[in-house]
Amino acid sequence: MDEMQPIGIFDSGVGGLTVVRFLFANLPKERIIYFGDTAHIPYGSRTPQEIIAFGDEIVSFLMRYGVKAVVAACNTSSSVSLPYLKEKFSVPILGVLEPGVRAALKVTRNKRVGVIATTATVNSGAYPRAFRRQDSEVEVFTQACPLFVPIVEGGRMESPEAREAAREYLAPLKEAGIDTLVFGCTHYPFLAPVIREVLGPDVRLVDPAEETVKELAVLLKKDGGRPGNSPVGSRGPHAPRHLFFTSGSAVSFYDSGKKFLGEFPFTVEQVSLDGRKGS
Ligand code: DGL
């Protein structure tokens, strides 16, 4: 790996920015190339074939920028397409699911863990399988939350609609007596205040993004990649040149970026990838 090579990150939309914020905080010298596939959001209601095809084209696109590693900053892709992508591409590809499971197992005390996720992630059964691989005693309660992604993409995180959806989705998990909740979709950490309000202070909220970035740091070190050499936020000639692409509206992506990351001194370019299946 070369220190100047960027890290590729992708999601169906702005959810992957929850991973970007940990990357900026913990690996500030790395350059990133981000792809948000908002023309095809939500992935949560797509078929596995479509999710695999989208991931395939996005990673091919990122490879053109010479990325040294890719983060599938999308639980739906991590659940459905990761084995395919890892097999096909030579670059290391990290998902968010396994790191999320490891982070949850570190904090649960009663071993009753809730996972909120998209319908496709829940249907894949990937979370309960991953938990069981690591701890046969843990009980996993999954809940699909299809309204959450449009609420976040629309910037309505504090709305009555968000509160009502959170109350409805979280009721069975409260009932099940979970002590830990995993955000099994990268969009959901943006709803943390509302989720916290509904669940109260005793349930631990786990954002897999933090552990993912820690594991990425270990991987980069192990593979001999050294970090880039410029401090984050620097505006000078050595500023890391992060690139943001979206298949949908660049303006909406930029607006969300500003809202979610506070500062967003980057341009967003709209690109459509060739050979797309689905629309
Ligand atoms: N943010 C994505 C995830 O983590 C996908 C959301 C969607 O497009 O449905 O699953």
pLDDT tens by residue, 71-98: 999 999 999 999 999 999 999 999 999 9
pLDDT tens by residue, 157-201: 999 999 999 999 999 999 999 999 999 999 999 999 999 999 999
Determine the average pLDDT of the residues in 125-137.
97
**Does an H or E element contain 85, and which?**
helix 82-88
For residue 231, what pLDDT is reported?
41
145 noted as active-site residue: no
For residue 278, what pLDDT is reported?
43
Cα 37 from Cα 186, distance rounded (Å): 14
Q: Which residues contact 269 (CB under 8 A, 6 or more apart)?
A: 243, 244, 245, 246, 250
How many beta carbons lie within 10 A of that of residue 111, not counting itself? 16
For residue 274, what pLDDT is reported?
63
Q: Sheet of 32-36: strands edge to edge?
A: 93-95, 69-72, 7-11, 32-36, 243-246, 268-270
Which of 27, 185, 216, 268 is the catalytic position? Answer: 185
74 noted as active-site residue: yes
**Angle, helix 208-222 to helix 97-107, in steps of 10 degrees:** 110
- Which atom of ligand 1 sits closest to the CA of residue 41? 8
Cα 181 from Cα 140, distance rounded (Å): 10
For residue 147, what pLDDT is reported?
97
Same fold, 7-96+210-270 and 98-207: yes
In percent, how much of the chain has pLDDT > 90? 85
Q: Which CATH architecture has domain 98-207?
A: 3-Layer(aba) Sandwich (3.40)
Q: Is 143 in the pocket of ligand 1 (CB under 6 A)?
A: no
Q: Does domain 7-96+210-270 have CATH number 3.40.50.1860?
A: yes
Residue corresponding to tokens 């509904």: 198
Q: Is 44 in the pocket of ligand 1 (CB under 6 A)?
A: yes
Q: pTM of the prediction? A: 0.91
Smallest CA-to-CA distance from 162 within 175, 176, 147, 174 is with: 147
* Annotated domain spans of the chain: 7-96+210-270, 98-207
Mean pLDDT, all residues of the chain: 92
Q: Which residues contact 47 (CB under 8 A, 6 or more apart)?
A: none
* Ligand 1 pocket mutation pick from 10, 12, 256 by most atoms within 8 angstroms of CB: 12
Cα 5 from Cα 9, distance rounded (Å): 13
Range of weakest confidence among 132-141, 241-250, 262-271: 262-271
Q: Which two tokens stand for residue 233?
A: 């936020």
Residues paired with residue 95 on neighbouring β-strands, in sequence order: 72
pLDDT tens by residue, 199-244: 999 999 999 999 999 999 999 987 655 444 444 444 455 556 899 9
For residue 2, what pLDDT is reported?
63
For residue 1, what pLDDT is reported?
61
For residue 275, what pLDDT is reported?
58
